[in-house]
Amino acid sequence: MTTSRTASSTLTGSLARRAAVAFAVGVMVESSVRMNVLPFVILLAVAQGLTSLASP
Amino acid sequence: MIGTLVKGSRFERLLNAHLHIAGALIGAGIVGLALSSLGSFLPRLISLWLLTCLCIAYGAMELGYLSLPLPETGHQVPASWRYLLPSPVTALLYGLVLGPGIGTRIASASYGALLSLVLLYGPPLQGMLVLATCGLTRAVGTVITAHMSRRNPAEGMALGYSLIQVWRSLNALLVGLLAGCLLVEAVIMTR
C-alpha cells in the first residue's frame, strides 16, 4: 500500500516536473519567435518567487 | 513568519493566508510601479544597453563568477510583530514587507536582473505586473509550504533548500536567454 502510494506520488512528481519543463520551453520558444521578452520576464518572476522560499 | 500562518482556528488560518497573499501582492505591485515609473525617464536605447549589461552581470553572479551588490538588508522580518499585533495584521504586514523581496534577504542573484528589468524595461504597469507576479508566487508558495509542514516547520524550510539548485539553474538559464534577446533588440535599435 505504502509502496504503491510512493510510486504514485513519484509518478505525479515526475509528470509535474515534465509539464513544468514543457511549459517553460514553450514560453521560451514563443518569446524568441515573437521577439517579446515579457513572457520570459514573467517566467523569471515566478522562478524568483519560488527561489525566495529557500531564503531563511 | 510561518508560525503566524499556521496558528489559530481554521477560519483564522484561512484569513491570515489570504491577508498575507493580498499584502504581498499589494506591496510588490506598489514597489514595481514605483521602480518602473523611475526608470521610464531614461531613453529607450540607453535602457536597453544598460539592461543587457546588468542581465549578463547578474547571470554571471548567479553562476558564481562575480559578486555585485543586491538591494537587501540581510535582516529577517521583525519577530516582535507576532507578539505585539493581532495575527491577521501581522500576516498582512509580513506580506507587505516580504512581497517586494527587497526588505530582507535575497536568495538568488538573478533577482538583481529581475529588478533591473522592472526598472528599465517597459511601461510602469508592466513593471507592476512583473513584481506583483513574483510577490504572489512567493506568498502562495509560503502559505502552501507553511500548511504542508504545519507539525514540523523545519520540514518546509528543508524542502525550500533542497530545491534551491533547481531554481538557481533555471534562473541562470532565463537571465542568459533574456540577455541574448535584449542584446539582439539593442543591436537592431542601434543600427
Q: B117 or A38, which is more confident?
A: B117
Q: In chain B, whose CA is at the least distance from the CA of A43?
A: B174
- What average pLDDT score do residues B7-12 get? 80
Q: Mapping DSSP to helix (H, G, I), strand (E, B) and coil, where does residue A40 land? A: helix
Report the alpha-carbon distance of residue A24 to residue B77 in Å, rounded. 32
Of B137, B161, B181, the CB nearest to A50: B137
Specify the pLDDT at position A38.
Answer: 84
Element (H, E) at A25: helix A2-34
Would you state the cell numbers that stand for residue B19, as one nine-digit string?
491577508
Which CA distances in Å does B85 have to B57, B75, B78, B89, B91?
42, 20, 11, 6, 10
Specify the pLDDT at position B31.
Answer: 94
Interface of B with A in 132-151 (CB under 8 A): 133-138, 141-142, 145
Which pTM was predicted?
0.80
- What average pLDDT score do residues B106-118 get? 90
- What average pLDDT score do residues B75-95 get? 83
Of A28, A38, A52, the CB nearest to B138: A52
- pLDDT per residue over A1-56, tens digit each? 445 555 555 555 677 667 766 766 666 666 656 667 888 889 889 988 888 877 65
Specify the pLDDT at position B113.
Answer: 92
The whole-angstrom distance between A15's CA and the closest CA on chain B is 16
Specify the pLDDT at position A24.
Answer: 66
Residues of A with CB under 8 A from a CB of B: 24, 28, 31-32, 35, 37-38, 40-56
- pLDDT per residue over B127-148, tens digit each? 999 999 999 999 998 888 887 7
Write the CB contacts of B176 (distance below 8 Å, at least 6 apart in sequence): B55, B59
